[in-house]
Amino acid sequence: MKEGIEQAARIILDSKLTLALTGAGISVESGIPDFRSAGGLWSKFDPMEYASIEAFRANPEKVWEMLREMEHVVGRAEPNAAHFGLGELEKMGRLQYVITQNVDNLHQRGGSSNVIEYHGNASTLSCLSCGNQYESDKKKDDYPPRCRCEGILKPDVVFFGEAIPQDAMNRSFQLASSAEALLVIGTSAVVSPVNTIPSITKNNGAKIIEINKERTHLTDTITDVFLEGGAGDIVSQLVEEVRREVGRKE
């Protein structure tokens, strides 16, 4: 592991444009289970019945049964060492952007300012009728939360059947085609279209650093350095090694 951490640190230090691609695995240590895991949201609620835009439009009160549970879990989560570590790398000028599939706002709270969100963010709610937007915290005592026009509010996250935000997709593809290094953290990168980002960066000649608890389809195909384990521990070690290397060169 030590050799892998050192190799990954050198890749980051040699890169002029480094990105991080994150998924549910980076937030597990914050108490948010992967929705697809045995204890995740989809084991209790059929996503097509509760998490599609058609379901929300047809019966928003029913969908809020699932959203209320999601809100309870996400609302009490705090950034973990991996989120803070990526924030530190950004402050050091060694990480330029985080591209995330998560909606929990933990990257921003962990110190990352350049965050591209593929699936939106649960910290705000919008009215599909009139377009008004509200902070989730200000509506947490309302169930279901309503707009001043009496419409039931929807979290600003991408439901099944909704398109990925065009700006997020275009910007991430543009960055991926120019990146020199990519950190893949807590994701198996199988969900389209975000799953194309590792191959886009690799085709550009970038180095891929993968941090996951188990091997994925990327590990034996395009990954250059595979660091197996929890995101919090490994990202913390990586930040410390980058800091040590910078200190040696100064």
Nearest alpha-carbon partner for 133 in 142, 143, 124, 141 = 124
Average pLDDT score over residue span 148-171: 94
pLDDT at 250: 60
Give the whole-angstrom CA distance, residue 130 versus residue 125.
12
pLDDT at 38: 62
SS3 120: strand
Give the whole-angstrom CA distance, residue 148 versus residue 142.
12
Instruction: Indicate the domain borders of the chain.
Output: 1-32+79-119+164-250, 34-76+122-157
pLDDT digits (tens, 9 = 90+) for 205-221: 999 999 999 999 999 99
CA atoms lying within 13 Å on the CB side of residue 187: 23
Q: Report CA-CA distances (Å) from 57 to 61, 127, 152, 212.
A: 10, 11, 10, 37
CATH topology agreement for domains 1-32+79-119+164-250 and 34-76+122-157: no
ω into residue 33 within 30 of 0, thus cis?
A: no
Interior angle at CA 135, CA 165 and CA 77, nearest 5: 85
Q: Report CA-CA distances (Å) from 130 to 125, 166, 172, 221.
A: 12, 22, 30, 47
pTM: 0.91
Instruction: Decide if 217 is catalytic.
Output: no
The CATH number of the structural domain formed by 1-32+79-119+164-250 is 3.40.50.1220
Q: Which of 72, 83, 119, 217 is catalytic?
A: 119
Give the whole-angstrom CA distance, residue 130 versus residue 123.
19
More confident residue, 190 or 15: 15
More confident residue, 193 or 97: 97
**What are the residues whose beta carbons fall under 8 Å from the beta carbon of 39, sequence distance 6 or more?**
33
**What are the residues whose beta carbons fall under 8 Å from the beta carbon of 179, sequence distance 6 or more?**
15, 17, 18, 19, 201, 204, 206
Q: Has domain 34-76+122-157 been given CATH number 3.90.800.10?
A: no
pLDDT digits (tens, 9 = 90+) for 20-64: 999 999 999 999 987 666 666 777 888 888 889 999 999 999 999
